[in-house]
Amino acid sequence: MSAETDPFESLQAQLDDAAAYIDLDDGLLRRLKNPERILETNLTIRMDDGRLETFRAYRSQFNGDRGPYKGGIRYHPGVSRAEVKALSGWMVYKAATVDIPYGGGKGGIVVDPSELSASEIERLTRAFATELRPLIGEDRDIPAPDVNTGQREMNWIKNTYETLEHTTEPGVVTGKALDSGGSEGRVEATGRSTMLTAREAFDYLDRDIEGATVAVQGYGNAGAIAARLLSTETDATVVAVSDSSGGIHDPDGFDPAAVREHKHDTGSVVGYDGTTALTNEELLTLDVDLLVPAALENAIDADLAERVEADVIVEAANGPLTPDADSVLTDRDVHVLPDILANAGGVTVSYFEWVQNRQRFGWTEDRVVDELERVITDAFDGLTEAYETYDVPNFRTAAYIIALKRVINAHAESGTWP
Ligand code: GLU
């Protein structure tokens, strides 16, 4: 774990690596590396015991050249201005990698929601939505879930916005519950794109995914669903998973859905029947075919990267590798499939939800699953083509070349004004 790596510097380093292959003005590159604007605000709410409490919150609108700003809202004590800036930039290049018509944004509140009651979280969410109201809208900026937020928070944001605006506008936020205008397939979308990326990568690298051993770090929405789909839809064998309390291991594999039930009942994956305990670090250095980091940024630093035994890494989390870790893994021929492709299923099905909201016409789950598969496999093919054409050292640089070129083209086509 390398808490000191600034995620915003990581984003900028990733962009510099790809920009070296593209002819562009330094001034334009500076634009592409920095957010357009950031809201920083303090939300004061009344706690259940009558006290007033104030929480710092941010929304970064990184780049809107390809469409409205789009990205989640995170509730976590580790949220910072630098983190939100980085996450908003990753959204720009994620939407561009999979070619959906969005810019990128991200928000966060510095809070540990496990210490708040449901009604305190509701007041905090509505306070943030009130601050965001002038900035968001289905054609401006569209929030979504991220770490520690989900359908409940999105429904509250939608309701606050619609109440204040005296309108109905379900497309102002995505990741809503089904009865509040959500989409079939949205909850599992991030895990599904992780599974699809792993499947395509193994095929491209001439490796068998059936029976491949898998370790997953992080067992929230992305990690748990990626583990389940890898086991049910590709026949990979999940042998280790972890959460913030620790990890579990069984070399013969286990049923990821049953482990999720166990976590639901006990609060952690730890202690699941027939498994032995292991630390997060042991999990990240386990000798497996596929490693899926699905927790937070900076999970693997250069030191840990030297000890990674996996052959392929598919990033379900945003920014789980530091740039130094990336260099080490590239030198060691470990194939890394970047976050801006592998976890793009979330924002892609958010896009489908927004299309459905605007048309007031719902899709079946089969349609969502099929369209998502098309978007991810097309993006994967584009990525491997760029990997070969530009002869770049790794898949991340290939993805950023594609994404940067799309944003640069949109910017050029719009012209510079005034
Ligand atoms: N928070 C997710 C991400 O990092 C989803 C964003 C969205 O659906 O807009 O990609």
Please give the distance, rounded to the nearest whole angstrom, from the Cα atom of residue 234 to the centre of ligand 1.
24
Asked, colleague to colleague, whether 37-180 and 189-341 share their fold, the answer is: yes
Structure tokens at 154: 């999105």
Structure tokens at 400: 């950023």
Structure confidence by residue, pLDDT tens digits, 308-356:
999 999 999 999 999 999 999 999 999 999 999 999 999 999 999 999 9
Verify whether ligand 1 is closer than 6 Å to residue 221 (CB atom): no
Q: Are 229 and 188 in contact (CB under 8 A)?
A: yes
Structure confidence by residue, pLDDT tens digits, 359-410:
999 999 999 999 999 999 999 999 999 999 999 999 999 999 999 999 999 9
pLDDT at 4: 79
CB within 8 Å of 370: residues ≥ 6 apart:
none
pLDDT at 417: 77
Structure tokens at 160: 């606050």
Please give the distance, rounded to the nearest whole angstrom, from the Cα atom of residue 240 to the centre of ligand 1.
26
Verify whether ligand 1 is closer than 6 Å to residue 68 (CB atom): no
Verify whether ligand 1 is closer than 6 Å to residue 343 (CB atom): yes
Verify whether ligand 1 is closer than 6 Å to residue 346 (CB atom): yes
Domain boundaries, the chain: 37-180, 189-341
CATH of domain 37-180: 3.40.50.10860
For residues 320 and 287, give the distance between their C-alpha atoms in angstroms, rounded to a whole number. Answer: 19
Structure confidence by residue, pLDDT tens digits, 178-206:
999 999 999 999 999 999 999 999 999 99
Please give the distance, rounded to the nearest whole angstrom, from the Cα atom of residue 70 to the centre of ligand 1.
8
Average pLDDT for 287-305 = 97
- Cβ neighbours around 233 below 10 Å, total: 13
Verify whether ligand 1 is closer than 6 Å to residue 146 (CB atom): yes
Pocket test for ligand 1, best of 76, 79, 91 (most atoms within 8 A of CB): 91
Q: Are 314 and 337 in contact (CB under 8 A)?
A: yes
For residues 150 and 143, give the distance between their C-alpha atoms in angstroms, rounded to a whole number. Answer: 11
Please list the residues that pair with 141 across neighbouring strands: 69, 137
189-341 is a CATH 3.40.50.720 domain: yes
Query: Is residue 1's pLDDT more than 50?
Result: no
* Distances, alpha carbon 287 to alpha carbons 277, 291, 379, in Å: 16, 9, 29
- Cβ neighbours around 256 below 10 Å, total: 25
Pocket test for ligand 1, best of 140, 172, 350 (most atoms within 8 A of CB): 350
Q: What are phi and psi of 119, to 5 degrees?
A: -75, -30
